[in-house]
């Protein structure tokens, strides 16, 4: 009789640890993927509709699909850039036809909700446990040189 609650508690704790680890790796991968690729669309789009956001969100959606079942509540909580989005846009536009590098960091924050079986009675609530992870990754984007040699 005593062994059943102990086994369930160990199972709950294992699920919580697994959720935190998967959330950390998902966040790290989302930051890395968001930082890679083209930043040129930031000059016309907002950060929420940019390729950065789409790439990071695709990683989070993949994590939800791959862990469907016990853990499928991963969410992209925030995506920020340093320097801020307006500064990146201004830099891209100021480089014009001559092109040049744009550097900074992308920070991604992801969350995961875990609904344990037995642990919820220990903390007296039916609400899920929410864990958050934040990772940053550097980016370098080179605006292409489109200047022509002819006047």
Closest to 28 measured CA to CA, from 110, 131, 84: 110
First to last CA, the chain: 88
Residue 149 lies in a domain: no
Asked if residue 22 lies in contact with residue 114, where contact means CB atoms within 8 angstroms, the answer is: no
* pTM of this structure: 0.85
Token couple for 101: 């590098």
- Cα 124 to Cα 13, 28, 56, 57, 71: the distances in Å are 16, 32, 34, 33, 21
Residue 150 lies in a domain: no
Higher pLDDT, 87 or 121: 87
**Domain interval for residue 30:** 3-143
Could you read off the pLDDT of 77-96 as tens digits, one per residue?
999 999 998 898 888 888 88
Residue 148 lies in a domain: no
Residue 151 lies in a domain: no
Report the pLDDT averaged over residues 31-36: 93
Number of structural domains found in the chain: 1
Residue 10 lies in a domain: yes
């Amino acid at each position: 009789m005593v062994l059943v609650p102990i086994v369930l508690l160990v199972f709950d704790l294992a699920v919580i640890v697994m959720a935190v680890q998967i959330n950390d790796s998902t966040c790290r991968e989302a930051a890395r993927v968001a930082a890679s690729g083209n930043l040129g669309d930031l000059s016309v789009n907002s950060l929420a509709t940019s390729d950065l956001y789409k790439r990071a969100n695709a990683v989070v959606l993949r994590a939800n699909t791959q862990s469907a079942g016990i853990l499928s509540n991963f969410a992209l909580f925030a995506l920020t850039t340093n320097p801020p989005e307006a500064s990146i846009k201004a830099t891209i536009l100021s480089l014009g036809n001559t092109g040049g590098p744009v550097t900074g960091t992308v920070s991604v924050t992801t969350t995961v909700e875990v609904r344990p079986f037995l642990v919820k009675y220990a903390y007296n609530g039916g609400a899920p446990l929410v864990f958050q992870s934040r990772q940053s990754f550097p980016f370098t984007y080179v605006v292409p040189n489109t200047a022509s040699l002819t006047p």
